[in-house]
């Protein structure tokens, strides 16, 4: 852990997932593929850890399958928006990394497709990684989601861990003397 770095995590309330498939009116190019969107309930949660506060909104899971064979074309992804802000009046925050875990009904992490138990993402938009007191940042969520959570329906919680570096925020004032002379060209 870096000097001044903090890690906070927030477990969301119990969640449920419901499916909505693409229906009639699909374009000819997408006839062989079907996109399925699963609503996540609740779709929005407030989060607070240390001096970081925020909310996750618009949560949903999206995957694509080949209609004729039910073959998975695009593995499920959790999508939404993560809005964060520094609740401190005296510290700036540099957002370093975020990790998300999917917990089953026994509060154990569920495995992702490649046997990892967490999805890591960085705050990629230039400038959005620094939060001065009261400043907000928005990060789009588009992260791997465990297939087992859709099939076994055992997902009950999400855990979001945020790594950040806190720096004291100070304002300094400079005062100096000046005088105004005669306009140029005047004698």
What was the pLDDT predicted at 152?
A: 78
pLDDT in tens, the chain (187 residues): 333 434 444 444 444 444 444 444 444 454 477 788 988 899 899 988 888 899 999 999 998 888 788 787 888 999 999 999 888 888 888 888 889 999 998 999 999 887 788 888 887 655 567 888 888 888 889 999 998 888 877 889 999 998 888 888 777 788 788 878 888 876 6
Torsion from C-alpha of 111, 112, 115, 119, nearest 10 degrees: -100
Predicted pLDDT at 124 = 65
pLDDT in the model for residue 2: 32
Is-above-0.85 flag for pTM? Answer: no
pLDDT given at position 186 = 66
Give the pLDDT score at 48: 87
Separation CA 96–CA 120 (nearest Å) = 11
Asked, as a colleague might, if the bond just before 42 is cis with ω within 30 of 0, I would say: yes
Length of the chain: 187
Query: Taking the domains of the chain in order of start, what are their residue ranges?
Result: 5-168
Domain 5-168 has CATH 3.30.70: no
Residue 22 contacts residue 31 (beta carbons within 8 Å): no
pLDDT of residue 14: 44
CA atoms within 13 A on the CB side of 116: 10
């Amino acid at each position: 852990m870096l000097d001044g770095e903090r890690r906070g995590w927030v477990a969301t309330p119990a969640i449920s997932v419901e499916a909505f498939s693409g229906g009639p009116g699909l374009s000819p190019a997408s006839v062989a593929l079907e996109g399925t969107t699963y609503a996540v309930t609740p779709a929005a949660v407030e989060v607070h850890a240390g001096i970081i506060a925020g909310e996750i909104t618009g949560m949903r899971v999206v995957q694509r399958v080949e209609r004729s064979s039910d073959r998975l074309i695009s593995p499920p992804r959790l999508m939404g928006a993560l809005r964060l802000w520094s609740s401190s009046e005296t510290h700036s925050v540099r957002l370093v990394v975020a990790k998300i875990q999917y917990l089953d009904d026994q509060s154990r992490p569920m495995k992702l497709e490649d046997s990892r138990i967490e999805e890591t993402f960085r705050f990629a938009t230039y400038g959005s990684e620094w939060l001065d007191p009261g400043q907000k940042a928005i990060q789009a969520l588009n992260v791997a989601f465990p297939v087992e959570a859709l099939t076994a329906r055992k997902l009950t919680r999400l855990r979001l861990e945020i790594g950040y570096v806190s720096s004291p925020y100070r304002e300094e004032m400079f005062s100096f003397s000046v005088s105004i002379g005669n306009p140029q060209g005047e004698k």
